[in-house]
Structure 1
């Protein structure tokens, strides 16, 4: 247990350095409910205020593969106090629908106020999802910007099909209200 308590801060520091930001204020932990672990974390300026913000993927400590996982967005203020900007427990797919590919969750990437969540599932027939939400200052919210879906069949790789929905093809839905692909 002591080793784990030493490893987590080191991993957190490495993640922060890799993301070209720092997380010196561990106060964000108060946003992690008891019974949950941080599955993933991404660090960057999500709202254009030049401060380091966090995106967390939380999951239950219990080994229930069907348990939902929650995406949490925390923003920092000039006094380095975290506040909850958004959360969604429908965006990250549960562990049990990955099929032969295992856990469908891939990763989160941040780029200039946009959050992209990569997930995939299936076995012979595979589906890869990339869902991007971008910050809209007038709404003070992250709104669905793009959905990229790639479907492929391992027996017919040439038949892979990628569908990109963007702009007017999508409803301007908040990251808080998103429940799945359109």
Structure 2
């Protein structure tokens, strides 16, 4: 079992810049700055008591139920559902309180995100194929090279150029500007 509570503190501190002082303030100082620092370093041996869960939930920016799950996993070695990936656990805790009539909207959003990820994977696949077929890993693409590409490949190049992962020669920009973005219904 993982130290999920400690990892949440670490993630908030490292990735989101939340300080121990902010965590202590968010939990109404039910836990001190020192306690949060020790939690970050995995030096807290005793689990927090359930009456602290509402305060810890505010500091950890997760639902109260998720705090209980993290405490159970880190200190008791009990995981609520081993089939749910870690990055979705907080979302699952929130979804438990959604009204039944709102479930279809959430499912629709989930499908849209799934399709978006599928499109991103497809673009990455075309992008990799493009680089392999041209055998070119440095230097800008020429207009002549781009004219041989099909629409999905051009869209992959356009995305790569927009993200700074590839370059095109000056006279090739007009061609890329004229094509629709990947996923655009007009494409």
Give TM-score, length-normalised by structure 1.
Answer: 0.24
Whichever structure has more strand as a proportion of its residues is 1
Larger Rg: 1 or 2?
2
